[in-house]
A and B are shown apart, each in its own frame.
Chain A
Amino acid sequence: EVQVLESGGGLVQPGGSLRLSCAASGFTFSTYAMTWVRQAPGKGLEWVSVISNSGSSTEYADSVKGRFTISRDNSKSTMFLQMNSLRGDDTAVYYCAKTSGYSTGWFDYWGPGTLVTVSS
């Protein structure tokens, strides 16, 4: 059974940093691109970033470019999101998802999400 599970969320002050993790199981992790999507309280879905299966290619939404870094460790079937210079509008539930392709694809399996709150 395919499973993805986020961790690392919490309360952080504006300007601070946080590192999210996404542990995957039930599929060959190194075959598929992985992605992060966030959802601010009461709002819709916003794509954040994607990383190719090998980790050699990454893309970001303009809203996080230069502040967030996506990475992966295929030996541990884990993806990461390093978030720096956090702002209030970064407050959201962050979902990791498996994609259906090697560079991107449809988001076919999602984790339950982890809440990031940026507040003083």
Chain B
Amino acid sequence: EIVLTQSPATLSLSPGERATLSCRASQSVTSYLAWYQQRPGQAPRLLIYDASTRATGIPARFSGSGFGTDFTLTISSLEPEDFAVYYCQQRFIWPPITFGQGTRLEIK
């Protein structure tokens, strides 16, 4: 099973700042990695797939990068609605499809 480790567990930033979230895989997943956003009380939403492709309707301030075992989600300038929990997910080697434990992005 591929284990995804996200860091940091919690990130405290202010609106307008740049956020950098990390996801590390226990073995290579090539580019088979996605990022999801989950706001409180809501279902997750697909942000980025194939490591760097924005999903439909996702603002350009969200970007993804990486290949193999190290991946990054960057939010260039935080908006109030971006404060949420973010999960990475792999489907390169499955089953099981696995998620990271999440990074909570909170308002400083």
**Minimum distance in angstroms from A112 CB to a CB of chain B:** 6
CB-based contact A95/B97 at 8 Å: no
Residues in chain A near residue B36, CB distance under 8 A: 45, 107
Residues in chain B near residue A62, CB distance under 8 A: 96
Interface size, chain A (Cβ < 8 Å): 23
Q: Write out, one digit per residue, whether chain A residues 67-107 have a CB within 8 A of any chain B CB (1) or not (0).
A: 00000000000000000000000000001000010001111
Residues in chain B near residue A47, CB distance under 8 A: 95-99
Nearest residue, chain A, Cβ from B38: A45
Cα A29 to Cα B10 in complex, Å, equals 38
Partner of B95, one of A61, A95, A111, A112: A61
**Minimum distance in angstroms from A115 CB to a CB of chain B:** 12
Query: With A59-B94, A104-B91, A108-B55 in contact, is A45–B43 under 8 Å at CB?
Result: no
CB-based contact A59/B99 at 8 Å: no
Partner of A106, one of B87, B91, B100, B101: B91
Query: With A44-B87, A59-B94 in contact, is A106–B46 under 8 Å at CB?
Result: yes
CB-based contact B101/A44 at 8 Å: yes
CB-based contact B99/A106 at 8 Å: no
Residues in chain B near residue A112, CB distance under 8 A: 42-43
Nearest residue, chain B, Cβ from A50: B97
Nearest residue, chain B, Cβ from A49: B95
Q: Which of B47-94 contact A (CB under 8 A)?
A: 49-50, 55-56, 87, 89, 91, 94
Residues in chain B near residue A59, CB distance under 8 A: 94-95
CB-based contact B46/A95 at 8 Å: no
**Minimum distance in angstroms from A120 CB to a CB of chain B:** 27
* B19 lies within 8 A of chain A by Cβ: no
Cα A61 to Cα B1 in complex, Å, equals 11
Query: With A44-B87, A45-B99, A46-B99 in contact, is A104–B94 under 8 Å at CB?
Result: yes
